[in-house]
Every structure is written in structure tokens, then in C-alpha cells.
Structure 1
Amino acid sequence: MNKTIIININGFIFHIEEDAYEILKNYMTDVKRHFLNSADSLEITTDIENRIAEMFTEILATENKQVIIEQDVIGVVEQMGSVADFENPEEQPKGPVYSNYTGKRKLFRDSERHLLGGVCSGLANYFDTQVIWMRLAFLAGIPLFGIGIILYLLFWLIIPRATSRTHRMAMRGQQLNLQGFKENLAEEHHPHYKPGIYKVRDFWGSLFRHIGAFISTIAKVLIKLIGVGVILASVGFIVFLIVAIVCVSFGEFRPFDGLPYQVLQHTYTNQIFISGFLTGAIPALAIIFLTLKGIFNTGSVNKQWASGLFIVWLCAISIFIYCCVKIAAHFSDDATFSETITLNSTPSNVYVLKLNDNKFFSAEDSVRLNIKALKPNTRVVESPFEYNNYHHYRYNKVYISIERSDISQPVLVKSYHSQGRDYDEALSNARNIKYRFLQKDSVLSFDYKLYDDEELWHDETLHLTLKLPLNAKVTIDTKLKNFIVNNDINACEETNKLPDGIPATFIMTENGLQCIIDPVIAKARKRDQRLLDSLRSIDDETGEQFDQESEQARERSRQRRYHMIDSLEGELR
């Protein structure tokens, strides 16, 4: 029974007997001492250790065993040769050879005598010939349909590159023992003539290496900057989610008008908010850790934590999708019903449309706010355009159209629309819509929002169609113009150059509602049109003569323009 220990030779793990280890240790100590003064001592000793590791691996595989014994180490030392053998170079190492390498050359791409990829130099070493003949052979193959280039690229991909001293020695057929390493070291330090082509290669190679190093440095800096940006964006996204959840849950902040907040406040509210937050926050957190690890090589994630977060994310996204599907079921069908109200006509056939900005209070709100204690003629108003308060615009789904009536009586058609899980529920939701419309003499007051005993969240909308008799005059309050969908109120205000707050006036014609233009402005527009038409006619008459008498034609045109303008202004005065 022998004691064994575990050793590590440049990443190779071996079980070795203690006596064998002592022999190997003393051998490597002599080798390191011998090459201590060499500039490449570390590289040489590393290559020797790698060679010994290869031989040990070969012994274990050949003899099908797991432990290196004393005889194995002695055989390897005899094969490699000892430091004392340098004094007697005629003696050959004794003992068996534990490798399929028998001094024959191996094919590698030469990393020292290369011009491009080292293919020609590697082949020349393998066949023990001059590299010039290999290069001429590939050059001769270029005119033959580029076969020389194709073969060169193919060999470049297939043949491995000589990256170590052991590879270079095997490429040149040198023995992989101490004597071979010694001779290889002497050859490298022995000065030899280098052709001019290699100097050119070294110059351009050095230039490209410096350029590559510079580009690599710039790329690393850019990648780190991008990483910092990604981390900041991810952190900002997580903070945004937290702030949004808090504000939406406990306040009335609504950052995006398009989101169905009224729906989220009535169905699966907590599930939607929590699962939505986790669905967005966990990937952002994963991006932060992956960026830190991949770009900055810092930070680590425990596998159990990572697996747990991934499971939580899967559950969150599943719950989020489930809730969205259930919410979408409330909008499977829609229903619409209409009612027609006959309005009171006015003797002058003039109507004023205005926005009802009186604030509506329920009975409970009136008692709580003590509305009766207000002074007489006091009004509590509200504005539909205060978009910072969600209550002011969440039910702002009132659309007004103005059309010509077929009868002499004004008519208001209310079309209520809503959605639900089926038609019956959609119709019930539409019937629950309440809306306030008032007529006082010629003043028609429209409210800007809908009301209900319950919260409205089934896409309840109201389309109002006001049908006025022919030749009816309508004055539209500026606060109401944003609710009218089939007439451009702003265009009429701009045409009449009305100041802010002054309403525009329209008249109902056979073609629908038309803007009434101020007579002074209409006269000025007519004058401008006549002037424009006259100037165009002058241009048409003189344009044909511009090719032959361009200067004379331009002058005549200019004089006729001035004369026409003076006569038109005198006529208008």
C-alpha cells in the first residue's frame, strides 16, 4: 500500500505516488534552475511541464490506470533527458517513447515566418522545403479560376496555428525533450538574416496591431458607456414603475391619457398593478445584473435567486395575461339606442349654444359641502379642460354634431352607446348613462360629461345630433367648440379675426352649417380676390411675350398692375 497525492500540472490533475512525486519535483527543480537566467525561462518551463503532462496522460490511457507510479516518472525523465545530458549531447535518451510523436514533423501554420496566415511557411516546414516554392505554387494557381486563393483560404481554416514553443518544435521536427528545448532556445536567440519582405510584414503588422489596439480601446470605452446608459435606463424604468403604481393606486395622477384607468379601477385592480409591475421590473433588474456581469465583470447572481425570480416573472406575466383576457370579456359586445327630443323654437330663429360649466353635486355632496349656505347667485363651476385632474375628463365622451332639420322645429337626437359581455349587458350599461341638457329660451346648454349612479367604465359614449331648421342662426360658445365634430369653429373665428372669448356665428343652409362672415371682412376678401384674379390675367397676357421682349413685357406688366390696383382702390373707396 503506497501513499498517493494529487498534483496540478498547468491545469491537468493527476494522482501520483509520493515517491514518484519527489522524483518529479527534484527533476523540475533542476530544470527551472538551469533555465533560470534565460529570458524565456517561464515559457520554457511551462512548455516542459505541458509535455510531461501529455506523457502522463498518455501513460494512464495506454495502461488503463489512474495513478502515476515511480517507474512512470523515471521513464518520462529518461525520455525527456536530464540537465546533465547537456554535457554529453552524443548520448540519446533511453527508455520507451510514450507518444505517437517520433520526431516527425507536424503540420501547423507558421506564426513566425508568415506573410499572411503562415500557410505556405507551415507547408514548407512540413515537407522540409523552401517556402518560396510553396508561395510560387499558390501564385501559379490564381490564374486557374482562382484555385490558388481558394486552397490558401481552405488551408488557413483547416490547419491549426503554431501558438506555443512545443508546436513550433513539432512543426520543425525537433525532439520534445530538454535537449530539443535547449536547441530551440539557442536558435531563437541566435541572430539571423531577415529578408526585407519580413521587415515590411513586421511594419504593417505592428501598424495594424496598434490600430487594432486603439480601436479595441475605443470600443471598450463605448461599450462601457452603453452599459452605463442601459443600467441608468433600467433603474429609471423601475423607479418610474414604482412611482406610477403609487400615484395611480393612491392618487389621481394619470400620466397617459390612452390607458383605461377607469377599467383598471373596477376589475382586478390589485392583480393588474402588481403583476404588471413585476412583469416589467424583473426583466429590467435582470438587464442590470447581466450588464454589470458582462461588461463590467462585477456582481453575481445566485442561481437559486435567479431561478426564483424567473418563476415569479412567469407567474406574474401569466396573471397579467389572465386578467387582461377577463377584462376584455367585458367588451365583447356593444349596444346603441337613441331618443329624440323636440326643442322649443324661437321666434327669431336664433340659437345660442353654450357649455354648462355648473358643477353637479349629489345629495350627499351638497350636505357634506353645505351648498345651501352659499350666498345667492353664487355658482360653483368646473372646467373640462383641467386635464391635471382625472375626474374632469374621464367621462368626457360627448360628441356634438349640428345638421339641417327636415322640419321647422329644432330637434336633438341622443345616441347612447356602451359595451358589455353580451348585448343585454351592453344595452343595460347604455341605459344607465345620464346626461344633462337644458334649454332656456334660445340658449341651449350642453354638459361636457356623462353621469351614472355607478362608475362608467364600459366605453360609454353619447353622440348628440342637433338638427336646426333652415336659415337658423347659431352662436357657438368658444368653450363648446372642442365638442363639435362636424364643423370647423376655429376656421370661422380665424376668418372673422375674432379675439379670444368672442363666439362665432353660423347660419343653417341647404348645404349645412355655414360661417357668417363680417361684412367688412367679406368686402375686403372680395376685393382681394378680384385683385388676385386681375393680376393673374395680366400675367397670362404678358407671359407669352417674355421670351422675345422679356424686359419690355415685365415693365408693361408692372405698369398695368399699378394702374389696376389704383383703379380698384378708388372703386372700393
Structure 2
Amino acid sequence: MNKTVNINIGGLFFHIDEDAYQKLSRYFEAIKRSLSNSSGKDEIMKDIEMRVAELLTEKQKSDKHVINNKDVDEVIVIMGQPEDYRIDDDSTEAPAETYYPKRRKLYRDKDRGLIGGVATGLSHYLGIDAVWIKIIFLFFTFVGGSGLIAYLIFWIATPKAVTTSEKLEMTGEPVTISNIEKKVREEFDSVSNKFKNADYSQVKSSAERVAGGIGEAITKVFGVFAKVLGAIILVFSSITLAGLFIGLFTFGTTSFIDAPWQRYIDAVNYTDIPLWLFGILTFLAVGIPFFFFLLLGLKLLVTNLKSIGNIAKYSLLAIWIFAVGALVFIGIKQSTERAYDGKIVVKETLQLKPNDTLRIKFVNNDFFSKSIYDNEDFLFTQDSTKREVIYSNNIRFELKATDKQLPYLQIEKLAEGKSFNEANNRAEKIKYGFKMVGNELVLDNYLLTEMASKYRNQHVELFLYLPKGTLFKMDKSMERYDSSDDEFFNLHESSEDYVYRVDDNQVKCLNCPPDENEYQDVEINNADINIPTPPTPPVPPTSKMSGKRTSKLVVDQNGVIIKTN
């Protein structure tokens, strides 16, 4: 039955049995004796104790674990015996060293770094010059801004190398008594060389007073600023994370319940990746940086906040890199699904008698819409047979001239896809209808698409080609869909009784008021419309017209008639 004692090594408490305690005490005393002539003796001992404390912490299996002789012996084997590493100031021979494999740990090198020491720490860890690390961060900062976000994450997640043991681990050197002593002496000599010519006896007291006052003032100012900044970061990060969590829950459940707007999202999801998976990736890609900002805000408010540990930090960093890479892949795949335009062209000749006036109008389907002026880019609904379809009013109409004897209608069905073949197949499945009833052209104001085709910007473009001299009328329903060139055909919206005629270079309105003919210079006479003028009746003697003749345009279903009085 061994007696146990509680000891404090490097700021950490341990339960250790009495025999192990005696051995560890003798070990420390031997180290002190070997360092009796070394500069920076106290600093070296402090670093050695902290390193021993780290090694003993790794031996602890639970809070009730008691350090024994075996644990101490294993620590001594790692650290080495003091007599093996005695280095005298006048000695020119290096002591024999035991080989240890280089195992680097990632730390921030604040001593050599310009800002946070991230690039310098990564250069030690990866064995790459710090200049290349900085160039990579700058490149990704200017290309999308991800470099700055990654730098801040590394700054928050990576601890700073403070102790001599951490600085040795950062460069991959074994943490032994010899290396600790060597490192401390190098730092001590470096500082001594910088100030070797300074007379501390004359300036010490005044410098301490000035520096102390300035340092205290700066500390208080920055302390208040840090608290305010920490509170702002904490509130902003918390609100963002809460919003992301609500969005993840909302979008993530749409794959398991029949939400009314789920089909609209699926229609523009060209990758067929489940919506819940996309929500999780977005949550991770955006939420992890804000989680580290949340930790930063807490650290600014709570000075003694315990770290979440390197394992958690590096695991979250790896998950974030994976999520961002997956979203980039999805974005590229999403864009390629609409990379090609497909088109199917159908031409239909219109049987119109030479002397007839063509009437043109759009009609709606009362089953889908009750108004001709409704405008739906795409709508998921059912047809009269209860079959699910995509309904759209994406129709475009344009009037053009032709040298052919008969007018014809060119119907162009268009859609998008990841290849020409797929885009053309999708365009071919568009359903669009029209009909010719006597001298009236009736056009549907909608198109239908199968649900399996999904939404790929399906639309229909109509081109009506009319021979020279053709007379036609436009229904008011044409206002919504006509996109003809105004210099060729100017649709007057104020009346459905206007009669238009196709001439050489433009369409003329034959009975429009002069103020509406801003694009056409219309001249109307009997020769233009080839309608004979009836004989002039005799004028009564009492009339004030004095034999003058007046004409009046009358438009009916047969065309234009001039009545002369």
C-alpha cells in the first residue's frame, strides 16, 4: 500500500504515489544541477516541467489515475537523462543525441508571422516556404474571397506556439532536455544581442513607468473594444446559425412530406440531388465558419474559456472543405444541365382566300385559366384527364412578310438540356395548339409539358408570314404576346377594328387616326384598296356643300368599303 501525494507540475495537478514522486523530484534536481552554468536556467526549467506535465497527462486514463514509477520511467526515457545533455559554454563538441522521428504539430508561429502566424505555422507543418502559403491565401482571397475565410478559420482553430515545447513540436524537433535548453539559449542570446549595448541601470526605472502607464491604458481600451466586438460577433453568429438551422429543418423535411412548393424547387433542381442533402451541405459550408466566429466571440467575452480541442477543430475544418467542394461540384453540374438549346420547327400553311381579311387572336383554356391576360412562367397542375402537367404562358408572337403566295405559320418549340439531343427531345414533347376557322387564326395562349421533362425554360415562338397585300385584323388579346419589330409592324392597341395591310417594307394601318401612325406614313385612296367609288348623287339646291364630295371608311368582315356622299 503506497502513499499518494498531489503535486502541481506546469500548472497541472496530478495524483502520484510517493516512490514516483521521489524519483521525479530527483530527476528535476539533476536537471537543475546540469543547467547550473546555463543562461536562461529558469526559463529552461519551466519549459521542461510543462513538457513533463504534457507527457504525464497523456498517461492519465481517468481523473482518478495515480502516476506510478512506470509512468515516470517512460517520461524520463522520452526526455533523456540530464548527464547525457550537459552542454558547457566552453565546450566545442556536441553531445551524443538519440534519434527521434520528426513529428510536427500545427501551431501558429507568432514570432515570425506578420499577422497571426498562420502561414508561417503551415510552412513548418507542410515543409513549404511561407511565401508560397501566403501567395495561395492571397490568390483565393481575390478569387471568391474563400482565402480570407480559410485564413480566419485557421487563425481561430490553430493554437499559438507559446512554450518552448510547442515551438519544438511545430518544427518537428524532439522535445528533449537538450533541445529545450538549446532553444531557450538561442532565444536568450538573440534578445541579449539586440540590447547588449543598452544601459539598463539608467533607463530601467523611467522606461518601466512610461511603459507601464501606456500598457495599462492600451489594455483597458482594447479590453472594452474586445468585449463589444465579442458581443456583436456572438449575436450575429447566433442569429445566423439559428436561421440556418431553421432553413435546414424546413428544406430537409420536404423530401419526406408533400409540401406544396416542393415541386417548384424540384423543377429547377437540374442535378436530381435530394433537397435534404443540398440543405445539409449548405448548412455545413455556411454554418461551420459562423460556428468558429461564435467561438471567437465567446473567447473575447470569456477570457478563460476552454478550447474545444484540436481533434474537433480539424474535424470541422475537414468537413467544411468537403461541403464547399461538394457545393462547387453541384454548381458546375447544375450549370451544365442547361448548357445547350434545343429547337423543333413546324410550318403550317394557312388556307386564306385572296380577298378575305385575316383575323388573328389568342384564346385561353378555361380549364387552366379564366383570363386571357394571365401570365405564368410555369405552373404545376392537372389537365382534364387528371394527368399532372406543366402549364406555361411563355408564348411569343412576331409578324413577318413573305414572298410566297399563301401565308403560313412557323411554330418553334424551344427547351434546354445538357446536350443537343436531350434539349431537342425535351422541345419535341412540348404540346401547343392552334386552328384555322374560316378566315380566323386562333392561337392557344399556353403550352403544356410532361412532368417527366421538368422545367427547362420551355417556351414557344410563333412567326406569322404574310404575303404582300394581305389584309388582317388583330384581336386585343394580341397585346400581351406581340413582340414584332415596331418599324415593320406597329400594333395599335386602342381598337380591334383597325385594318392592316402588308406592304413592301412595313405593315400599314388603313383606318388608324393620324396620331397613332407614328411608325407609318399611310396614304389611302381608291387605287390602294381597289374598291370602286359609287356615283355621286345630285346635291339639293339648298345644300351648303356646293357640289363637294366627302368619303367615309367603313370596315366590316369583308374588308374596307369607302362610302361617298
**Normalising by the residue count of structure 1, what TM-score does the alignment of the two structures yield?**
0.46
Structure with greater strand share of residues:
2
Structure with greater helix share of residues:
1
Q: Kindly name which structure, 1 or 2, has the bigger radius of gyration based on alpha carbons.
A: 1
**Normalising by the residue count of structure 2, what TM-score does the alignment of the two structures yield?**
0.46
